Amino acid sequence: MPDCLSALTLSDWLPSSMWALAIGVATAVVSLWGARWYVLRLPSNYFAPGYQPTDRWRDRHPALRLTLKILKNALGVVLLFAGLVMLVTPGQGILAVLIGLSLLDFPGKRQLERRLVARPGVIRFLNLVRRQAGRPGFERR
């Protein structure tokens, strides 16, 4: 064993690892709550072929609309990358990817979302979350 590691005692690394554990647990709880909130907020026909989202910011000042669109897309990028990391580490990776994609604006977004939701485990989990909250499941066809 290297000399630098043999000099460390349990009390030397425990406080920092406890902070890491606390931060990990807190982010897991917040991400699960946030994912649940977002899934419940989507309309039940969101993944249906003919669904067209409305522009809720249409009547806002153009500068505010641009700012909100930039912030929404930035949050989408962060969630997309966090979801990709969570695919190989503990966490709700596919949900974070799905939510990140839904926040982004790019061509082909609807088809990609529908392909992700077409996976049996994903739609089953999303509909389970909605049923537990007393909401109807997502329509896919």
CA-based radius of gyration for the chain: 20
Per-residue pLDDT of the chain (141 residues; tens, 9 = 90+): 555 555 556 566 556 667 777 777 777 787 778 778 888 888 888 888 888 777 777 788 888 888 988 999 999 999 888 888 888 876 677 778 878 888 888 888 888 888 888 888 888 888 898 999 999 988 876
Structure tokens at 93: 């990776």
Q: Provide φ and ψ at 74, rounded to 5°.
A: -65, -45
- How far apart CA 30 and CA 39 sit, in angstroms, is 14
| Contact present, 138 and 127 (Cβ < 8 Å) | yes
The contacts of residue 104 (CB under 8 Å, 6+ apart) are 73, 76, 77, 80
pTM of the predicted model as reported, rounded to 2 decimal places:
0.62
- How far apart CA 96 and CA 76 sit, in angstroms, is 9
